[in-house]
Amino acid sequence: MTSISTAVAEGSNTASEAGAFNPMNLILLAAFALLIFMMFRGRQKQKKAQAELQSKMQDGARIMTNFGLFGTVVTQKPEDNQIVLEIAPGTNVTIHSGSVARVVDSNDAPAEPIDEPAAADAAPVAEETPEETTRRLNDEGKN
């Protein structure tokens, strides 16, 4: 009988411990709620930024891609998620619309490449055959 009475006594102790307030449960619940809140907030910010980017991206807008390519939007194909960019006069490339990083203002645009005039006193360069080039480079390496 002692074994039954001790089992009943132990069972009542565990029942009273289970009903007790545990602050760790409250902390875990608060952390979980904060995590969910931050996830939803991040998604809302991302959707807002994407909608703003799409509203600015009209035909003729200068854009920069995620991989650093600058160009002007020629056409958009939203059903295929494609954008045709003109990266140089007469040179068009097709990119995925998700690779657009930002619409570039005229202040942010990179400077156009400047064609440097050839030096007037520079002598014309004669064409070398591959054998002559190899011989010249070998001779330069010996000095």
Q: For 15-39, what is each residue's pLDDT tens digit?
A: 455 567 788 999 999 999 999 999 9
Picking from 79, 53, 56, the residue whose alpha carbon sits closest to that of residue 66 is: 53
What pLDDT is attached to residue 19?
65
What pLDDT is attached to residue 140?
83
Question: What residue ranges of the chain have pLDDT lower than 50?
Answer: 15
The whole model's pTM is what?
Answer: 0.47
Strands (E), the chain: 62-65, 70-77, 82-88, 91-96, 100-103
Give me the architecture of the 59-111 domain, per CATH: Roll (2.30)
What pLDDT is attached to residue 58?
83
